[in-house]
Structure 1
C-alpha cells in the first residue's frame, strides 16, 4: 500500500507500440508489466522484474490518431539512463546497438560522475544511455542508506 508520494514512471509517445516494446525488451532489462487499450490508443508498462518495493515504470503510449507518425523525442542530449554492473555490459550493448543500427554514442570513458557510457536510440529516436560506474545507486545509498 502506498504510504507516501513516490516517483513512479516516465511516459514516452510511440509511433509503433509493438516495435517499441520489442526494442526495450531486447536492449534493456525491462519487461512488460501490463498493456492497456481503449478507443484512443494503447500503452505498455515496462519495469524491472521483481521491483516491488519501489517500482519505476516506463510507459510507452501510442495514440491511434498518431500511429506511424514521428513522435516527439528526447534529443539531442535528454535521455533515459540505465546503469549496468560492468564495463563489458556497456561494450556489449554498444556492439548490439551498432549491429542493429541504433548506436547513438560509442562506448567511452567520461569524467566522474558520468563513468563509462554508450547510448542507443529507440524506434522513435529517444536516447537511452547505458552506464557503468556512474554511482547513482551508491549516491542514493550514501544519502539515505541501503535498502534492507
Structure 2
C-alpha cells in the first residue's frame, strides 16, 4: 500500500480573509463546510481537483511570523511568466507581495511570493518541472 497526500489542514486566526485570499489568488473554491467543535471548518480545492487535493481551514490559529528569507511555502504553478507578473501586481496592490518576481536556475524557474492572511507564504511559479507546461521539462 502506498500513501497519497490528499490534504493540508491549517488553523488560521481569521477564517474568512483566508477563504477570500485562496479564492482570489489561487482560484480555489469552497467545496465543503461544516460546524466542528464550535467553529466552522472549510474545505477548499482547485476546480476539477476536488477528489485529489484539498486545503482544510479551521479558525483558532495564530498568525505566522515568517522572515522574508524563510522559503516555507505552498506552491502553485501557473501557465506563463505573464501570469506570475499579473499575480505579483495584484498582490502588490493588495499589500501581500513578499517576493517580487524573480528568475532562478532550473528547476526553480520564475516565481513570486505572497503572504496569506494567516502569515503563510504562497509561491506562484512558471518553469518548474511540476504543473502547467512541465511535460517537456526533465525532472532533476
Residue 116 of structure 1 pairs with residue 116 of structure 2: no
CA distance in 2, matches of 1:104, 1:72: 14
* Aligned residue number for residue 56 of structure 2: 59
Compared with structure 1, are the counterparts of its residues 29 and 99 closer, same or farther at alpha carbon in structure 2 (3 Å cutoff)? same
TM-score, with length taken from structure 2: 0.84
* Aligned residue number for residue 82 of structure 2: 88
CA distance in 2, matches of 1:105, 1:93: 11
CA distance in 2, matches of 1:60, 1:77: 21
* Aligned residue number for residue 20 of structure 1: 18
CA distance in 2, matches of 1:74, 1:27: 20
Compared with structure 1, are the counterparts of its residues 9 and 16 closer, same or farther at alpha carbon in structure 2 (3 Å cutoff)? same
Cα deviation digits, residues 60-116 of structure 1 (max 9, x gap): 1113xx5xxx33466622100000000000000000000000001000111110000
Residue 103 of structure 1 pairs with residue 103 of structure 2: no
What's the Cα RMSD here?
2.3
What runs of 5+ residues in structure 2 fail to find an aligned partner? none
CA distance in 2, matches of 1:107, 1:116: 7
CA distance in 2, matches of 1:131, 1:78: 14
Aligned length: 134
Cα pair 1:31 1:46 within 8 Å, conserved: yes
What runs of 5+ residues in structure 1 fail to find an aligned partner? 144-148
* Aligned residue number for residue 8 of structure 1: 6
TM-score, with length taken from structure 1: 0.80
CA distance in 2, matches of 1:22, 1:136: 25
| Larger helix share, 1 or 2 | 1
